[in-house]
Amino acid sequence: MTTRALAAFAAGASYDGLPPEVVAKAGALVLDCVGAAIGGAAVPEVVALTGLVRSRGGVPEATAVGARPGFAAPLADAAYAMGAAADVLEHQDGYRFGGFHPSHAIPAVLAVAEHVDADVPDLLTAVVVAYEVANRIARAAHPQATKAGWFPTAASFGAAAGCARLLGLSEDGIADAIGATAFFAPAILIESIFAAPGAKPAFAGQIARAGVEGALTATTGLTGWREVVEHPRGLVSVLGGDGDTAHGLGSEWTILDVHQKWFAGCRHTHGAAQATAELALEHDLKPSEVSTVDVEAYDVALLLVDRPVGADPSTVACTLSLPFAVGAALADRYVGGRQYATDRRTNPEVLRVAGLVGLRRADDLEALYPEYTATRVTLTTTDGRTLTRTVDTPAGDSRAPMDRDRLLAKFGAYADPVVGAENAARVAEALLGPSGSVRDLIALVTVFQEAQA
């Protein structure tokens, strides 16, 4: 379990040495993140955060992907802006064995890749490095960190490794980048996220920013703490974890276990959302026909997403609320970015059902966590029927993955209205190909936005 081993892996990774399925997964994850950023850019909380970045100006080194209209900013600022946009709708990926979002690293890696004029295969190699480093750190601290009240910032350290690689640093330099990130990574109280304040998306932006700053610091020749991961008072230990973070590097590909979200919202709401949507479709239920909603889940779900919403909830609050997810899924048979628009998140029938939800622990479901985020929903109808559905592997899980059509549909729902269907298709082709330059790819998702301004 050493920082040095993680750096050695990052320095030695090569595109030609990556299994095809790993490359394909990396492309799909970047596509997902770009789509989420495009969709999130119009959310008021993100408009406020990216507006601050835009107002500061600075050297235009990389594009703030997803910002409307598009603009360029210093590397760390560009990563921050995209990070906030990609997080706000909670439609990004996640790693169930780490309790975090490894895609928080992508805005950092993408900004640096654009800046150095990397090609898409170089980008994807750096993304794989970032995920493998981040996932191992987070896995070693999960679920102890979450239960102690911390959100793992492992993506900052993975981002630093990926960015340092793109910047041409040696193994020593990458170790310094990972170690220097300790001085930039935020300390995130998980309750501060799930309390759902308007500033919440800033935490994801800051995680991305920290990775860029750590890598840039190493380029100056300054050293980082090369025991940041494994020291007895280092990152993993302080978060309550243990274990060998370097186990299986280069042979076990944790990126393949990363889930993508078919439903938008915190992962711990997905089982309930899917079970409710399936029951609504199967029985042609209307919200007015449901009188009670009983949801059974595992301890972490109760800790994080048992969040009632009021009469005028914010987008951030709704994305972190299991009761809201149930109400939206019953009304619309799906929970995506559209369900967080003002007219849907304040819809009386959605909010009425949300108010009916009772969430409780089930011993059999708790025993399955974290291998499964299993959730059981029981709906009682006004005519006396009792309808139950259990979902243990929500759509998008690595064991129930989204196929290519669903991946493209999710991306297109966000990208097509903003950058045009033709540009969106070309972005998907470049990332899933993979081929072309990162700068050309970025231009495809920003030119139309600038024309719209």
Mean pLDDT, the chain, rounded, equals 95
pLDDT at 34 over 50: yes
* The pair of three-digit structure tokens given for residue 319, joined into one six-digit string: 């994305």
pLDDT at 1: 52
Instruction: Note the pLDDT tens digit of each residue in 227-239.
Output: 999 999 999 998 8
Closest by alpha carbon to 252, among 409, 392, 128, 345?
Answer: 128
**92/103 Cα distance (integer angstroms):** 7
**448: confidence class by pLDDT, cuts 50, 70, 90:** very low
At residue 150, what is the residue type? Answer: W
pLDDT at 242: 83
pLDDT at 388 over 70: yes
For residues 56-64, average pLDDT = 96
**375: confidence class by pLDDT, cuts 50, 70, 90:** very high
Find residue 191's DSSP bridge partners.
Answer: none
Kindly report the number of other CB atoms within 10 A of residue 331's CB atom.
25
Who has greater pLDDT, 70 or 317?
Answer: 317
Instruction: Note the pLDDT tens digit of each residue in 161-197.
Output: 999 999 999 999 999 999 999 999 999 999 999 999 9
Of 89-98, 236-245, 332-341, the poorest mean pLDDT is in 236-245
Closest by alpha carbon to 115, among 64, 66, 161?
Answer: 64
For residues 5-33, average pLDDT = 97
**453: confidence class by pLDDT, cuts 50, 70, 90:** very low
The three-point CA angle 260-182-370 to 5° equals: 35
As a residue count, the chain comes to: 453
Q: pTM of the prediction?
A: 0.95
pLDDT at 138 over 60: yes
For residues 127-142, average pLDDT = 96
pLDDT at 447: 52
For residues 68-92, average pLDDT = 96
For residues 23-30, average pLDDT = 98
Kindly report the number of other CB atoms within 10 A of residue 403's CB atom.
8
pLDDT at 452 over 80: no
Closest by alpha carbon to 94, among 154, 45, 144?
Answer: 154
56 three-class SS: helix
Instruction: Note the pLDDT tens digit of each residue in 339-358.
Output: 999 999 999 999 999 999 99
Domains in the chain, CATH or no CATH each: 3-262+413-452 (1.10.4100.10), 267-391 (3.30.1330.120)
pLDDT at 451: 41
**21/294 Cα distance (integer angstroms):** 39
For residues 2-15, average pLDDT = 96
pLDDT at 66: 86
**101/79 Cα distance (integer angstroms):** 15
pLDDT at 243 over 80: no
In contact, 105 and 130? CB cutoff 8 Å: yes
* The pair of three-digit structure tokens given for residue 210, joined into one six-digit string: 């920290």
